Structure 1
């Protein structure tokens, strides 16, 4: 079996998208380098003529071994009442579906999707798998309590965090910065989450990092999506930042002369997306208009991480220590199932979520196991 990378939600000007169908499908194949693409016409404004033309084109472009393409529709609710208003603002860049298929053709990809032999990324060609013995992610089975779970990760930026979830509960973690040893001079600020779980969910951050008692030797930002998200040096002791997060995470890495004896101050305003009114006038987030964090370098040396949880959808600010060692691009390991304390007699949907240094993430499908 091999991993294929798919975008299963693609529009065109047949309905509410931009560019014609041939352009978008060709772009997906030839520019984005997708293996699999799903054309999803909106149900409320596709015409029979355009649908027939699109299906004919999709069949012509489908080429086993090179490009698998499916016709489909997006059920928007409007045709049967319900639904939500459309929006042109979705926030972060689009993700990808990873499909572990037996062959590179429609039938095999469809079989893998129905079997949940899949993983998800935040847009990168990273890879993740989870299994117990012969049972692969996506399967429903009765588990051997004495057999471990095996995971494997492949990426580009270096893996820094691996989390195992049982549904929505975090039950096991691995921090590669801690394993490789924290550096006494390197820290980072991570900003992430969203204000709400809906469209127009973005949290718009504008703030400063003030560091005294140490020299800022250098800094860099990771996870930013476009040029308007940026970090700059305001003066010798202050870094300023402007970014927005829509469920994703951005980070600012800082190299200091020393952490001991330093004072760290972070102050940020958090604004809403301006849907109504003057977009040049910020609209503060009602539940968390500002966030302030102040601590000493010695406190961070002792704690390694300080997190400020904010009202919202995983909205948080975190100041963390880092390692100076290279993070692994390939990572695999075992998790002892017997040590997880899972309740017997009920199903546990266990899945991995892992993060790279550039704040990209990957999720496996779940193992639906019962002890």
Structure 2
């Protein structure tokens, strides 16, 4: 499934007509789904960037402005705020859905929200990784799905490297859980929040909650559509909104990845209630993983620069390997037998390196422009050492790993307590050995 999402204030009438012709021509039901649509590019103060998708061609385009459009005969169709856009789309005969998008003008989820239209938030793209756009909504009972997109501005969906531009991450992918590859199925998957996103790799993820006493599953968000269809269920999956009476539920997780799985975080809201690793402390080897991540803030120019040196005292580097290094012109390299230097950026995503040490008793000194760490490998167990660095979730994490490759499959279960009031969002963050990540849409469980 793909779509072209041009900034609305640049789309001239002739180009909008051409886009509609292309999507209609290229869409092949059952094989390749192409959706017509555009990016509504209002400033953050009036709602921020949102992706608009139409079920079929022929819809009007409702721009935030005509800033770079010379033709002004349809100025009266502009939607200057997100609220205006919602109203326009409700009046539009062609069905539509929306994503809250984090680009240069990040989506402002506090400005307005219409669950009938906006069913998903974007947690990753070439702009970086943004868990906050999901978790900021939990206190407000925003029941949205998770998606990841490219937005690399290079016309390479599914292969969107950042290159030498201001982008700092590889473009993401979304998995839609559906029985057929059609526009109708895509729309239903989005509206049911049956999606998960990755920072690039194709990972198979399944999460289910078993409900002993059963529950009422809502096909739409009942806060916005109280008369929506419902059904009685005893098992639910990612994206489902289910009212239950159980105080606890058993959650089953299954992940199959094309690379090793570093860890899986089973989360309840913003808390990690179970951390899966495919190894025990006795399996730890001479590999030290150092990963830095985070951003400066939410808006444009959020890139964080990480500069520094890793120095090995009392030993040498046996082997060195960068992790998730995407910009070749940025320095991340071994210098001699005892040191590594780096000058890189992150934009919410994570990157770093693996160092195999000849002597586990060696002291490792990590010096960065955001702080420093000093540690000895033999004194580390499987628990990460974390240096918080301010900003927006900026951190440096040191972790001891087995010397060899990690397991590529994971299966586990965990019992989770359900809040008495409000929602209990249950979701996954999968951390892969190559530095990539994946996130599932939450299961939204509630008692009342």
TM tier, smaller:
0.7 to 0.9
Find the counterpart in structure 2 of residue 317 from structure 1: 396
Q: How does 1:239-278 map to 2 (within 5 A)?
A: 239-260=340-361, 262-269=362-369
Residue 331 of structure 1: CA displacement? 1.6
Match of 2:371 in 1: 291
Tell whether the 8 Å contact from 2:252 to 2:413 is kept in structure 1 after alignment. Answer: yes
Query: How far 1:49 moved relative to its partner?
Result: 2.2
- What per-residue deviation string (whole Å, max 9, x for no partner) do you get for residues 207-230 of structure 1? 111111122111111111121234
Residues 350-361 of structure 1 correspond to what in structure 2 (within 5 A)? 350-361=426-437
C-alpha contact (below 8 Å) 2:278/2:406 kept by paired residues: yes
Q: 1:122 aligns with which of 199, 202, 217?
A: 199
Question: Which residue of structure 2 lines up, in the alignment, with residue 156 of structure 1?
Answer: 258
1:81: Cα distance to partner?
4.3
* Equivalent residue for 1:167, pick from 265, 269, 288: 269
Higher strand share goes to which structure? 1
1:75-154 correspondence runs (5 A): 75-77=40-42, 78-79=64-65, 80-81=79-80, 89-133=166-210, 134-143=235-244, 144-145=246-247, 147-154=249-256
Q: Is the 8 A contact 1:119 1:129 kept in 2?
A: no
Report if aligned partners of 1:188, 1:322 keep a CA contact under 8 Å in 2. yes
Q: 1:242 is paired with a residue of what secondary structure?
A: strand
Give the one of 313, 318, 333 matched to 2:412: 333
Structure with bigger RCO (C-alpha 8 Å, 6+ apart): 1
SS of residue paired to 2:252: strand
Deviations 1:304-342 (A, max 9, x none): 5321101111111122111135322122221122xxx43
Shift of 1:147: 4.3
- Is the CA contact 1:148–1:334 (under 8 Å) kept in the aligned structure 2? yes
The TM-score, its normalising length taken from structure 1, stands at 0.77
Change (3 A) 1:195 1:180: farther
311-320 vs 228-237, which deviates more? Answer: 228-237
Q: Note the C-alpha offset of 1:177.
A: 4.4
Does residue 71 of the first structure (1) align with residue 148 of the second (2)? no
Cα distance in 2 for partners of 1:203, 1:357 equals: 22
**In structure 1, what is the equivalent of residue 446 of structure 2?**
370
Q: How many residues align?
A: 310
Structure 1 residues 257 and 346 mapped into 2: Cα distance closer, same or farther (>3 Å)? same
Within 1, Cα distance between the matches of 2:167 and 2:377? 37
SS in 1 for 2:4: strand
Q: 1:126 to 1:228 in 2, by over 3 A?
A: same
Matches of 1:349 and 1:314, distance apart in 2: 21
Return the offset for 1:146.
Answer: 5.3
Aligned position for 1:200: 301
SS in 1 for 2:9: coil
Q: What is the match of residue 182 of structure 1?
A: 284
Partner of 1:344: 420
The residue number in structure 2 matching 1:233 is 334
Asked whether 1:45 is paired with 2:15, we answer no
CA distance in 1, matches of 2:187, 2:28: 15
Distance 1:160 1:179 in 2: 14
Give how far 1:129 is off.
Answer: 2.2
Alpha-carbon offset, residue 168 of structure 1: 2.3
CA contact (8 A) 2:250 2:415 kept: yes
Distance 1:151 1:180, change over 3 A: farther
Kindly indicate whether the alpha-carbon contact (under 8 Å) linking 1:188 and 1:253 is maintained by their aligned counterparts in 2.
yes
Mark the runs of 5 or more structure 1 residues left unpaired by the alignment: 1-35, 270-289
**In structure 2, distance between residues paired with 1:177 and 1:213:** 28
- Equivalents in 1 of 2:431, 2:382: separation in Å? 21
| Aligned counterpart, 1:3 | none
1:242–1:85 distance in 2 versus 1, CA, 3 Å: closer
Q: Which runs of 5+ in 2 are unaligned?
A: 43-63, 66-78, 83-102, 106-126, 128-164, 211-234
TM-score w.r.t. length of structure 2: 0.64
What is the deviation of 1:244? Answer: 1.2
Spell out, residue by residue over 1:141-168, the C-alpha distance to the aligned partner (whole angstroms, 9 max, x if none).
Answer: 1344454111221211111111122222
How far off its partner does 1:245 sit? 0.8
Q: Structure 2 CA distance, aligned partners of 1:63 and 1:125?
A: 22
Matching residue of 2:322: 221
Deviation by residue 1:81-138 (Cα, 9 ceiling, x = unmatched): 4799779734212111110111111111111111111000001111222112431211
Q: CA deviation at 1:346?
A: 2.9
